[in-house]
């Protein structure tokens, strides 16, 4: 067992367990509950407060907040909302992955924690999760997919950087991102952006349009649509000249077997000569390192209609369709997994997802006596069909398909909310108490559907030709190459429900001291209950200086996908199994049912106005998260001798690999965030708005899940060192952003300078070097941070609503570091490191033309 969870006193939680399965979170921003907004005195922004009480400005908030306006989003020159946040918010990190499905559905992290530790709201309502488990390379995470929310439909983004599970429920361990959509009842906007990377590839085009209409007396309908078309970049190393594609020839000119490893490092045997086709081969047959190509079509409809003097009906519909492609490793023709009669020069498979995503929220809000109330119901669904093109199942020989349906993933959630708020006069406080309460009920469903029969089966065909003719193809080669399909035994269709109640009280204890107390109790049908509490306070030492702080506990329920997921995939030499954590097979191999991740957070900060029209915030925090969920170590006979007996004991093959999801570790993340911003009036020289933001973090593991005795008997660590490093080191240890925005009449210039600090990575070489700088190193450390990135915008507002802009991101064409030599594959001269804030694509330029009307 991991160390016992520490919980805040129940006095902080306020709410006791109720049998009614209800929960609540934020009502829409326009109803001034949950995340609410007001204008600041010094900056042209609106702000969130992280409280259900009346809104406070950034300087008056008890929690650290980032706010991005629609203009900030446009100036980021990014192809998705994820890239916008990564460019502009120092505490947000978006690792760039070049792998399988998780490179097409990306995910970011806040404060260095998991992507699913951030709760995403749209107009104050919980956003449904993606159907893809492990999106963005985050193991057991199934976060909301910010890449499917159109940037052109957004009025602003509010990022609360503080634990807030007691206010909003599960997932809000690191913070909350609230997307506030455009609700204008008039006017509109049409824009077109086109650009490419400096290398000439990766063309990116974005078309946006939105328009507002008034409805009746005070109602509105706002429509928005967007098309994002991103072409791929490619910075893959060409193949080494010594790396063979075709079978070598003996003195008689007959094809013979290569030396070395046939698949990963084929070499020329003594006395043999290369096949003449090696001279004309495509040395750039590998094209799988770079930004993935995608095409996303999105639309939103946002409406509100007055039904009575104090009652409005409202609704929000979001729709998205995405196609994305991920090229995979080239299979050279001398490999046994190539049917040479179909692909005489080899093949490079491409994974493809066809995704449809939608959400609809309908509600009523109004006033009843002294109560403000909001009653809503929302449904969200993500449906993903997975395909594989230009591949093969060699065990079917000439009868093999070359295109495969891999299977489907489905996730859906129904969410029902009731939120109440009122002010209560006490007689002993100068200002009224602000009281909030509510409930929520949510039904979730997750499904995996099987793929084509050939995508996962072994057809029995032997190698047809060449020096390996007649060789039996191992079980690991049965299935579509690059991505085997989901099998019928992997198919699942599961559901669960959850509910909670919450209470919040905020009070001004005099003119300088503000206290905000919240408590929440949630109950899940599959693992039980959690109670959370939060106490936030702010004390003004001076009109220009205040202290603020928060203490809270939180939790994240194991995702329905992580609890239900099962997958069987064929490698070249063995079959790999991910077992359901609660299945009899997994339990026999040491697994336990997944427990929720729980957290304890503490933050302290200062808010100051060092001079007129300037604002300074500094916040220090510590977040302890227990029972973090991740995949266990893969164990099999080839890695841990003797463990094959364990695998066969549960009915699997002797050489098969096994892993399952576990509550792997406890972690502690500490950091300091600071923001200094302001505006200078330069008189006839225009005006300059500037921002300097910085984030510093460090993380460590404070506890590890004990290795089950059944694995310890074969020296199998349940959570390997490499997995521990991946849990800790995805985000840079520090990040700084300097932003300068100068305007003079209709002209503007924007400059953003970003610095990414150290990002530690580890890799294991195929062969440990006996000499040289990496001698004896079974695990090699390298750094993919230490980067300075410069972005530039030149723009002008023209007559009659027209606007033009020229942007360059990464002006100096910086690239991520290359891997140390021992970590390269045999076919590579070099490889740019994976998983950093930038990749090997380099700089990007674009031009935008926009027409706006009132």
Q: Label residue 51 by pLDDT band (50, 70, 90).
A: low
Alpha carbons 227 and 230: distance in angstroms, whole number: 10
pLDDT in tens, 629-643: 999 988 888 888 888
Q: How far apart are CA 654 and CA 714, in angstroms?
A: 15
Strand, coil or helix: 317: strand
The 3-state secondary structure of 257-287, one letter per residue: CCEEECCCEEECCCCCECCHHHHHCCCCCCC
Bridge partners (DSSP) of residue 46 are 39
pLDDT band at 25 (very low <50, low <70, confident <90, very high): very low
Q: Residue 268 has what pLDDT?
A: 94
How far is the C-alpha of 738 from the C-alpha of 677, rounded, in Å?
10
Strands 125-126 and 188-197: unpaired
Distance, CA of 825 to CA of 797 (rounded, Å): 51
pLDDT at residue 181 is higher than 80: yes
| Mean predicted confidence (pLDDT) in 693-711 | 94
Burial of 838 (0-12, 13-18, 19+ CB in 10 A): buried
Strands 125-126 and 259-261, by their bridges, are unpaired
Which has the closest alpha carbon to 415: 373, 455, 360?
A: 360
Mean of pLDDT over the chain: 89
Q: What is the distance between the terminal CA atoms of the chain, rounded to a whole angstrom?
A: 62
Q: Which residues lie closer than 8 Å to 711 by C-beta, 6 or more apart?
A: 589, 590, 635, 643, 646, 717, 718
Exposure on the CB side of residue 601, measured as CA atoms within 13 A = 33
Quote the longest CA-to-CA distance of the chain. 104
What pLDDT is recorded for position 639? 84
HEC states along 410-442?
EEEEEEEEEEEEEEECCCCCCCCEEEEEEEEEE
Residue 119 near residue 168, CB atoms below 8 Å: yes
What is the DSSP secondary structure assignment for residue 607, as one 8-state letter?
E
The answer, yes or no, to whether residue 31 has pLDDT greater than 90, is no
Would you state the pLDDT for residue 303?
A: 97
3-state secondary structure at position 10: helix
pLDDT of residue 139: 83
Element (H, E) at 721: helix 721-728
**Distance separating alpha carbons of residues 287 and 390, to the nearest angstrom:** 14
Q: What's the mean pLDDT in 764-791?
A: 89
How would residue 19 be classed by pLDDT, with cut points 50, 70 and 90? very low
Q: CA–CA separation, 54 vs 730, rounded Å?
A: 37
| Cα–Cα nearest to 445, from 420, 418, 475, 414 | 414
Query: Selecting from 3.30.420.40, 3.40.1390.10, 2.40.170.20, 3.20.20.10, what CATH number does the domain 10-239+281-853 have?
Result: 2.40.170.20
Q: Give 583: exposed, middle or buried? Use CB within 10 Å, 0-12, 13-18, 19+.
A: middle
Cα gap 655→204, rounded to integer Å: 45
- For residues 814 and 801, what is the distance between their CA atoms, to the nearest angstrom? 36
pLDDT at 587: 93
DSSP category for residue 113:
S
Work out the pLDDT band at 20, boundaries 50, 70, 90: very low
Q: What is the mean pLDDT of residues 562-586?
A: 85
DSSP-based three-state secondary structure for 636: coil
CA–CA gap between residue 456 and residue 577 (Å, rounded): 13
Q: What is the pLDDT of residue 39?
A: 29
Cα 635 from Cα 657, distance rounded (Å)? 5
Look at residues 240, 239, 282, 277 and name the one whose alpha carbon lies nearest to residue 255. 277
User: pLDDT tens-digit profile of 435-453?
Assistant: 999 999 999 999 999 999 9
At 110-148, the pLDDT tens digits run 999 999 999 999 999 999 999 999 988 888 889 999 999
What 3 state SS string does 551-589 have?
EEEEEECCCHHHHHCCEEEECCCCEEEEECCCCHHHHHC
pLDDT band at 426 (very low <50, low <70, confident <90, very high): confident
Check: CB of residue 169 under 8 Å from CB of residue 816: no
**C-beta separation of 402 from 452 below 8 A:** no
Give the number of C-alpha atoms closer than 13 A to the C-alpha of residue 329, restricted to the C-beta side: 18
Predicted confidence (pLDDT) at residue 12 exceeds the cutoff of 60: no
- For residues 462 and 468, the answer to whether their CB atoms sit within 8 Å is no
Locate the domains of the chain by residue range: 10-239+281-853, 242-280
Q: 3-class DSSP state for residue 396? A: helix
Dump pLDDT digits (tens) for 318-377: 999 999 999 999 999 999 999 999 999 999 999 999 999 999 999 999 999 999 999 999
* Residue spans of beta strands (DSSP E) within 609-642: 614-631
The pLDDT value recorded for residue 13 is 33
Phi-psi region of 526 (alpha: psi -120 to 50; beta: other; left: phi over 0): alpha
Q: Residue 471 has what pLDDT?
A: 95
* Environment class of 9 (CB within 10 Å of its CB; exposed 0-12, middle 13-18, buried 19+): exposed
Whether 738 has a pLDDT exceeding 50, the answer reads yes
Q: Which of 530-539, 543-552, 757-766, 812-821 has the lowest mean pLDDT?
A: 757-766
Lowest average pLDDT, out of 42-51, 154-163, 210-219, 553-562, goes to 42-51
pLDDT at 50: 57
Tell me what pLDDT residue 11 has: 32
**Confidence (pTM):** 0.90
């Amino acid at each position: 067992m991991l160390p016992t969870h520490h919980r805040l006193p129940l006095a902080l939680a306020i709410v006791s367990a109720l049998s009614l399965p209800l929960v609540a979170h934020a009502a829409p921003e326009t109803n001034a509950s949950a995340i609410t907004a007001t204008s600041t005195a010094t900056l042209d922004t609106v702000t969130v407060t992280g409280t259900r009480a009346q809104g406070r400005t950034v300087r008056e908030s008890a929690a650290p907040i980032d706010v991005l306006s629609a203009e900030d989003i446009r100036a980021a020159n990014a192809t998705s909302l994820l890239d916008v946040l990564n460019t502009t918010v120092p505490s947000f990190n978006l690792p760039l992955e070049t792998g399988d499905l998780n490179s097409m559905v990306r995910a970011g992290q806040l404060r260095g924690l998991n992507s699913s530790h951030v709760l995403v709201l749209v107009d104050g309502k919980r956003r449904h999760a993606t159907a893809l488990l492990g999106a963005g390379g985050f193991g057991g995470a199934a976060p909301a997919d910010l890449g499917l929310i159109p940037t052109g439909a957004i009025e602003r983004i509010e990022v609360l950087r503080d634990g807030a599970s007691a206010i909003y429920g599960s997932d809000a361990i690191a913070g909350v991102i609230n997307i506030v959509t455009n609700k204008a009842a008039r006017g509109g906007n049409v824009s077109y952006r086109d650009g490419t990377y400096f290398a000439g590839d990766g063309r990116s085009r974005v078309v946006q349009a939105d328009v507002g209409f008034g409805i009746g007396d005070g109602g509105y309908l706002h429509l928005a649509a967007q098309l994002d078309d991103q072409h791929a970049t490619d910075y893959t190393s060409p193949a080494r000249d010594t790396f063979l594609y075709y079978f070598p020839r003996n003195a008689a000119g007959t094809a013979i077997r290569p030396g070395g490893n046939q698949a990963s490092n084929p070499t020329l045997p003594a006395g043999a000569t290369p096949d003449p086709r090696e001279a004309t081969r495509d040395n750039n047959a590998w094209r799988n390192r770079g930004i993935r190509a995608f095409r996303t079509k999105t639309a939103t409809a946002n409406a509100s209609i007055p039904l009575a003097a104090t009652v409005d009906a409202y609704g929000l519909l979001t729709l998205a369709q995405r196609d994305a492609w991920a090229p995979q490793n080239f299979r050279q023709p001398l490999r046994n997994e190539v049917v040479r009669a179909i692909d005489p020069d080899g093949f490079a498979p491409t994974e493809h997802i066809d995704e449809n995503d939608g959400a609809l929220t309908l509600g009523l809000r109004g006033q009843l006596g002294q109560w403000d109330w909001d009653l809503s119901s929302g449904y969200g669904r993500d449906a993903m069909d997975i395909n594989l093109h230009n591949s093969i199942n060699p065990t079917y020989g000439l009868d093999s398909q070359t295109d495969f349906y891999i299977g489907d993933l489905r996730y859906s959630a129904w969410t029902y909310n009731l939120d109440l708020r009122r002010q209560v006069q006490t007689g002993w406080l100068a200002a009224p108490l602000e009281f909030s309460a509510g409930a929520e009920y949510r039904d979730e469903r997750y499904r995996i559907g099987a793929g084509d029969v050939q995508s996962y089966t072994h057809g029995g065909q032997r190698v047809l030709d060449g020096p390996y003719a007649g060789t039996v193809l191992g079980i690991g080669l049965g299935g579509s190459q690059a991505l085997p399909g989901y099998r019928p035994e992997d198919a699942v269709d599961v559901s669960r429900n959850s509910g909670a109640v919450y209470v919040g009280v905020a009070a001004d204890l005099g003119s300088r001291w503000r206290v905000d107390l919240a408590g929440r109790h949630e109950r899940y049908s599959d693992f039980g209950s959690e109670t959370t509490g939060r106490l936030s306070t702010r004390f003004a030492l001076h009109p220009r200086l205040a202290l603020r702080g928060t203490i809270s506990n939180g939790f994240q329920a194991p995702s329905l996908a992580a609890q239900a997921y099962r997958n069987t995939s064929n490698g070249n030499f063995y079959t790999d199994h991910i077992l359901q954590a609660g299945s009899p097979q997994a339990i026999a191999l040491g697994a336990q049912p997944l427990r929720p991740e729980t957290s304890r957070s503490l933050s302290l900060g200062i808010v100051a106005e060092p001079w007129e029209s300037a604002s300074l915030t500094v916040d220090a925090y510590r977040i302890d998260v227990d029972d973090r969920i991740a995949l266990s170590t893969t164990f099999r006979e080839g890695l841990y001798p003797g463990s094959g007996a364990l695998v066969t004991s549960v009915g699997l093959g002797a050489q098969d690999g096994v892993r399952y999801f576990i509550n792997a570790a406890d972690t502690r993340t500490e950091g300091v965030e600071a923001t200094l911003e302001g505006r200078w009036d330069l008189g006839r020289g225009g005006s300059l708005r500037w921002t300097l933001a910085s984030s510093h973090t460090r993380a460590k593991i404070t506890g590890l899940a004990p290795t089950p005795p059944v694995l310890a008997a074969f020296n199998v660590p349940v959570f390997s060192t490499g997995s521990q490093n991946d849990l800790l080191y995805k985000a840079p240890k520090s990040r700084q952003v300097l932003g300068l925005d100068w305007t003079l009449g209709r002209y503007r210039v924007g400059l953003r300078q970003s610095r990414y600090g150290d990002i530690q990575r580890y890799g294991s070489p195929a062969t440990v070097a006996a000499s040289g700088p990496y001698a004896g190193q079974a695990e090699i450390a390298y750094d993919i941070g230490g980067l300075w990135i410069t972005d530039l915008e030149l723009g002008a507002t023209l007559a009659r609503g027209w606007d033009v802009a020229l942007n360059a991101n990464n002006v100096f064409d910086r690239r991520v570091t290359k891997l140390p030599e021992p970590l390269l594959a045999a076919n590579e001269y070099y490889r740019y490191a994976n998983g950093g804030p930038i990749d090997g694509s380099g700089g990007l330029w674009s031009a935008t033309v926009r027409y706006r009307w009132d």
